[in-house]
Structure 1
């Protein structure tokens, strides 16, 4: 285990969180254009395809950061549940109420919802339509519940045991791909096929020492570029064959997205961003990133109603512009909500 070293400075993970926060907004701004394959100009569709492919790492990176930060620690179960899980539950309940009330108001110009339905709204089809980005919150709550158990195993695991877990995870992902699923026996590897693999991967890459690898930053960028290019061109050719947009290579468990996430993770691990302006931006976004994730879909909705979306000045300029506008407004709103005493519920 001499090749393992836990970095005391975790600012590189903060840098990654900032990039992932911006990227998830960018992804949601670009996505609508992709479903207009053959219905919009080739240039506009390709622009959205390239943009979206560049940021598909966003959710995997969030989960990898979770593994890198939480798995090395020791936990007392009661304290952990209070500090970690409860800290997610209150913002979740607050924002799902806000989104649900908002959509009911839009649909009915007012709302009437039975009390019992309000209690179960988080698991209904209606809730998914109103808060489609909340799938991530459901997933991360499940991961947080599992962290204390996983932490005890991974800190006592040998390197080859971690390799074994990650190998099974990769195999489970590959055999689940549409390209292979018809030709591979139906092995039941579902327990290795979820986001928990990203948690373990993030932990492993964060403590694995790559300092002796020559040109590690260039290699990391090459890995990232390979994953992105596979996504860009693979998606185009699959869509061309089908005559419609095919999302298969955009999923968070497609091998190309994993490759891109690994490359970006390693690249940020080995660079030092010391610019004072970047440090100030990093501090602000990191402090409010959870709330920004919750609110950004609502902000995008009203920006779009105001005519500010990815189509403004064309997707090439409109997607970055709408992303920046959404980021700034979302960050400001979370900052102000915290200032008026809602810090515990806005995220």
Structure 2
């Protein structure tokens, strides 16, 4: 393909099994990420070998959200949209479940005495609105980011569908270049201009579209991208360990989603799935397809399930501490993922349940 030719759209991307498989894996790794976070934050307070296990799992799971955005780009940037119709359909799908679960998290925070309501109804309304404004739970930032991306997708899709490969690569190099400039270790060379909106998740949208459409030469197969994934994973794990050791405290420098290490990690696993022909048994494929249909609901609900599993008041003691972290972290994540899937499936069976459980 010439670099001056427009990049062809992926054929029927919604029917590609690899995208659904990757989506399900990314969701599971987001649960692992949140399972490991308490141990990771306890740097210096837990045994070093335990903390290293948390470091490994955390690094491994860091591609979850970037891959979500790349999948969105792969699926949505290849088509033309009428602005009003696109926003109506997309926002209607994500906002009602988001509002429902936000209110659930507000209610749980009140139940857990993290927030206090008063006898003044207007004050209570302002408390709830404050929670909705800043996110009723730590993981809901993703929805605010996704809403912002939806507003730009109809415009961005026109650019990428008509751009040449050279122009797409120029856009991605510009995104990467600005991202690198904003890294803390280059602070002395930073022109002190806030490039955050430029270097944000917008680039992941275009990267997902490009990598899903790119025709790679035969020699550049999944094995090479698998090696790149492993190298970037080692860099993130080792870099986090040694920088944290140097500063005697947790450093998230290599964990930042808008950073070169995470971009390489995310892009490489994305291409590995695209170029690999994973042969799943019919039963496993059925389970994966089923779970893939509830990914958004699982994302919204899993933080509540994870909190309840580890809350001492409920005496379940299902978290990273119930056995060696190498086993307890993925096992806790699997239990949380399964219960979240069960919950949103049950909610979907209720009248109007599809509006809160998709």
Distance 2:18 2:101 in 1: 29
2:22 pairs with 1:38 = no
Secondary structure of the residue aligned to 2:215 is coil
Q: 1:167 to 1:110 in 2, by over 3 A?
A: closer
Distance 2:304 2:105 in 1: 8
The Cα of 1:337 is off from its aligned counterpart by 0.3
Which of 232, 246, 252 lines up with 2:251 in the alignment?
A: 246
The Cα of 1:313 is off from its aligned counterpart by 1.0
Residue matched to 2:264: 259
Secondary structure of the residue aligned to 1:192 is coil
The Cα of 1:284 is off from its aligned counterpart by 1.4
Secondary structure of the residue aligned to 2:50 is helix
2:325 pairs with 1:315 = yes
Distance 1:200 1:24 in 2: 22
For the 8 Å contact 1:299–1:330, the answer to whether it is kept is yes
Unaligned runs of 5+ in 2: none
The Cα of 1:43 is off from its aligned counterpart by 1.2
CA RMSD of aligned residues (A): 1.8
Which of 131, 134, 141 lines up with 2:137 in the alignment?
A: 131
For the 8 Å contact 2:345–2:357, the answer to whether it is kept is no
Which of 8, 11, 15 lines up with 1:7 in the alignment?
A: 11
The Cα of 1:285 is off from its aligned counterpart by 1.2
Distance 2:166 2:220 in 1: 25
- Range 46-55 or range 278-287, more displaced: 278-287
CA deviation profile, 1:33-89 (whole Å, cap 9, x unmatched): 112222211110111111111111001000000000000012122221221112111
Secondary structure of the residue aligned to 2:321 is coil
2:224 pairs with 1:224 = no
Unaligned runs of 5+ in 1: none
CA deviation profile, 1:265-312 (whole Å, cap 9, x unmatched): 000001123321331121111111100000000000111121000111
For the 8 Å contact 1:64–1:199, the answer to whether it is kept is yes
For the 8 Å contact 1:105–1:111, the answer to whether it is kept is no
Mapping for residues 147-226 of structure 1, pairs under 5 Å: 147-186=153-192, 189-210=195-216, 212-226=217-231
Distance 1:72 1:215 in 2: 24
2:156 pairs with 1:145 = no
Secondary structure of the residue aligned to 2:356 is helix
Which of 86, 97, 107 lines up with 2:103 in the alignment?
A: 97
Distance 2:109 2:97 in 1: 18
Residue matched to 2:63: 57
Mapping for residues 69-84 of structure 1, pairs under 5 Å: 69-84=75-90
- Range 82-91 or range 59-68, more displaced: 82-91
Residue matched to 1:269: 274
TM-score, length basis structure 2: 0.91
The Cα of 1:10 is off from its aligned counterpart by 1.8
Distance 2:111 2:40 in 1: 29
Residue matched to 2:305: 299
For the 8 Å contact 1:206–1:269, the answer to whether it is kept is yes
Distance 1:310 1:188 in 2: 38
Secondary structure of the residue aligned to 2:192 is coil
Which of 281, 289, 293 lines up with 2:295 in the alignment?
A: 289
Distance 1:261 1:95 in 2: 28
The Cα of 1:188 is off from its aligned counterpart by 5.7
CA deviation profile, 1:81-103 (whole Å, cap 9, x unmatched): 22111211111111111101110
For the 8 Å contact 2:294–2:357, the answer to whether it is kept is no
- Range 262-271 or range 74-83, more displaced: 74-83
TM-score, length basis structure 1: 0.94
> Counting helix residues as a fraction of each chain, which structure ranks higher?
1
For the 8 Å contact 2:39–2:54, the answer to whether it is kept is yes
Distance 1:268 1:203 in 2: 14
How many correspondences in the alignment? 342
Q: 1:111 to 1:188 in 2, by over 3 A?
A: closer
